[in-house]
Amino acid sequence: MLTARDFKQIVSGRRKGIGASLLRGLMWGTSLVYGIGVGIRNRQFDTGSKPAETVDVPVISVGNLTLGGTGKTPMVAWLARWFRERCIRVTLISRGYGAEEGSQNDEAKELEELLPDVPHLQNPDRVAAAKVASEELAAQVLLLDDAFQHRRIARDLDIVLIDATEPFGYGYLFPRGTLREPVQALYRASLIVITRGDMVSAEELQAIKDKIHSMEVTAPIVDMRHCPSTLRSASGKTEPIDHLQGKKVLAFCGIGNPGGFRHTLTDAGMEVVELREFDDHHDYDRADINSLEHWAIQNDEIAAVVCTHKDLVKIGLDRFMDKPLWALTIEAKMVEGKDKLETLLEALLAKIPEDPYADF
């Protein structure tokens, strides 16, 4: 069975040899079949033969074209805070990928800590969840997490994130590449957010924008960065980033873009002695914890072990033996085009029904 790392090594072409080439050929054939299915489904929604269902409040979708992490969680948190600062009730809705029945997945646990006053409904039937949010929770705005391809529910704003380090899925649909659908699907986007632009050259970043413009996509483009916010422990203790500035750390993560995490740690001034990578959505068991503890003990010179907030909520420990365990929390920062985003959000405010609870 291929791990996520093996998969990316193969589809990116970094893994050489006859075996890898044959596997890429098999993946290419499978991606053709997958593409036919995606095309048929999209045409059904485009022509209205399969209509999208509507709810009574504005709906914002945050999604992406590719598999893996593009930085949706910080973006969703930024949007939720923007509306909460204006006293608008927001509910988050997601499919709940990887969650056991009756429990939350890692993204939900992370968002619950970041946004304690924002309800989060997880349901594979996001239309049903949206109706619960609007009818029973009196939500005024719905935020759909990872929903660009979930076209069953109509949305007022479709925000698509593109990771500058892996922008177009290596040029192929899954499984030959990491595209969930052809890049031409960007015609549906209301706004395109390019993330991790600081990890590529100015020329590479401009090439991404040029490719988007070449497809005659009219959606405005925003540049977003993932900025370190605080260090957080499992018990809720926080420290400023400079608590570990200039110090040696071990790091691990189970996310879609581990290279992005390393870059963020380095930018925060930490010296990463070693980064241990797990597959995205990795479920840490006792053997993993023992291995990480042993790893920490072997590195006497480190000041701490650092992981992502998404990993910490699953591990729930403050320490690995005598070494503190910190999560680096990340916030979205719009470095270019923030005014374009806020113009779209302010237009949605006008669509929000009058609050029946305003006088209570």
List per-residue pLDDT tens for the chain, 360 residues long.
Answer: 777 888 989 999 999 999 999 999 999 999 999 999 999 999 999 999 999 999 999 999 999 999 977 889 999 999 999 999 999 999 999 987 655 555 566 777 888 888 999 999 999 999 999 999 999 999 999 999 999 999 999 999 999 999 999 999 999 999 999 999 999 999 999 999 999 999 999 999 999 999 999 998 999 999 999 999 999 999 999 999 999 999 999 999 998 888 889 999 999 999 999 999 998 889 999 999 999 999 999 999 999 999 999 999 999 999 998 999 999 999 999 999 999 999 999 999 988 877 655 544
Distances (CA, A) of 213 to 65, 97, 156: 16, 33, 22
Query: What is the b/e burial string over 42-66, where b = at least 16 CB atoms within 10 angstroms of the residue's CB?
Result: beeeeeeeeeeeebebbbbbbbbbb
CB-based contact 92:119 (threshold 8 Å): yes
**227-331 is classed in which CATH architecture?**
3-Layer(aba) Sandwich (3.40)
The residues facing 136 across adjacent strands are: none
d(CA 178, CA 164): 14
d(CA 79, CA 90): 9
What pLDDT sits at residue 95? 87
CATH topology of domain 59-220+337-349: Rossmann fold (3.40.50)
Query: What is the b/e burial string over 167-188, where b = at least 16 CB atoms within 10 angstroms of the residue's CB?
Result: bbbbebbbbbbbbbbbbebbeb
DSSP β-ladder status, 323-336 and 319-320: antiparallel
What pLDDT sits at residue 117? 92
What pLDDT sits at residue 357? 58
- Return the domain boundaries, the chain: 59-220+337-349, 227-331
What pLDDT sits at residue 243? 96
d(CA 104, CA 93): 12
